[in-house]
Amino acid sequence: MNTTSSRGQHLVRRMVGGQFDGHHLSDFYCGYNIYAGKQQRCWVHLLRDLHALKEARATDAAVVQWAQDVRGLVEQAHTLGRGYARAKQPPCCALAKRLERNVRLTLALVFVKPSDDTLTLLSGLLAYLRAAGIRIKCLYADKGFCSIPVLRWVVERGLPASIATPIRGKQGDTRALCRGRRSYLTTHTFRSAEHGELTVSVTVARSEGRQRSGRRRATWCLYVCLGVQAPALRIRKRYRRRFGVESS
């Protein structure tokens, strides 16, 4: 594992130059273009660029049609991929990682069965950590774990946690929290016919950026915060440290 404050061309030369002949998976950052082997590009970044291109060249019918054709290929690939997954049922896994000086270290891994629920996965991973004598200061979990059974389980154990919350609904549900011009702390009640209701603290983090067209755009991120008290943007920053740029 290597950590660095830069991801320029010199880093690519040092890490893969003459020693790696596999597939390099990355975004469209130009620093990676010097790699002479096979490259895979991130579809999410491509779709974002296609959307920006259509907005910038909305009056150019040829450009708009080309962008739509590429998007059609993406949708076709997704359809084929879902069909293959249903037929082959490729193995999936869940990981528990530790942040140590901005480096992510894998501590536990469990394979996921189609019948496994998120609470079983989370409790299983944490059991491995406890057996290894690892104490958890704060649990960071993605949107897939934001469910009433998981939240209730975490609350009952008094475990500090910051769990990303999906934005649902057109106007109501959690989307109704995405309002105003500043970040703020509030409460939200999750409801389920099967699991009842649960009210928890939610941090609503608002940030602004510019689209390629130059227009400003607000971005909302929601986090269920259990036993965690900090400004909204600090919670967002800490949560985002879970992610990094990876190659395989």
Task: Output the tens digit of pLDDT for each of the chain's 248 residues.
Answer: 566 677 777 777 777 766 777 887 788 788 788 877 888 888 788 888 888 888 888 898 998 898 888 888 878 877 776 665 555 555 577 778 877 776 777 787 777 777 788 888 888 888 888 888 888 888 888 888 999 999 999 999 999 999 999 998 888 889 999 988 899 999 999 998 999 999 999 999 988 877 777 777 888 999 999 998 888 888 888 888 765 433 33
- Same domain assignment for residues 69 and 143: no
- Same domain assignment for residues 203 and 130: no
Of 30, 65, 88, which residue is a domain's last? 88
- Same domain assignment for residues 156 and 212: yes
- Same domain assignment for residues 97 and 163: no
- Same domain assignment for residues 157 and 229: yes
Question: Which residues, 6+ apart, have CB-to-CB distance to 1 below 8 Å?
Answer: 103
> Is 190 within a domain?
yes
> Is 172 within a domain?
yes
- Same domain assignment for residues 151 and 233: yes
- Same domain assignment for residues 14 and 67: yes
- Same domain assignment for residues 184 and 160: yes
Of 101, 116, 136, which residue is a domain's last? 136
DSSP-based three-state secondary structure for 75: helix
Q: Render 21-73 in DSSP notation, one character per residue.
A: -S-EEE-S-GGGGG--S-EEE-HHHHHHHHHHHHHHTTT-HHHHHHHHHHHHH
pTM to 2 decimal places: 0.59
- Same domain assignment for residues 54 and 101: no
> Is 54 within a domain?
yes
Give the domain extent around 73.
9-88
Two structure tokens written together for 123: 């409790």
> Is 119 within a domain?
yes
Distance, in Å, from the CA atom of 202 to the CA atom of 160, rounded to the nearest integer, reads: 13
- pLDDT for 204: 93
- Same domain assignment for residues 111 and 53: no
Q: What is the CA radius of gyration of the chain?
A: 21
- Same domain assignment for residues 13 and 103: no
Q: How far is CA 49 from the centre of its chain?
A: 19
- Same domain assignment for residues 143 and 224: yes
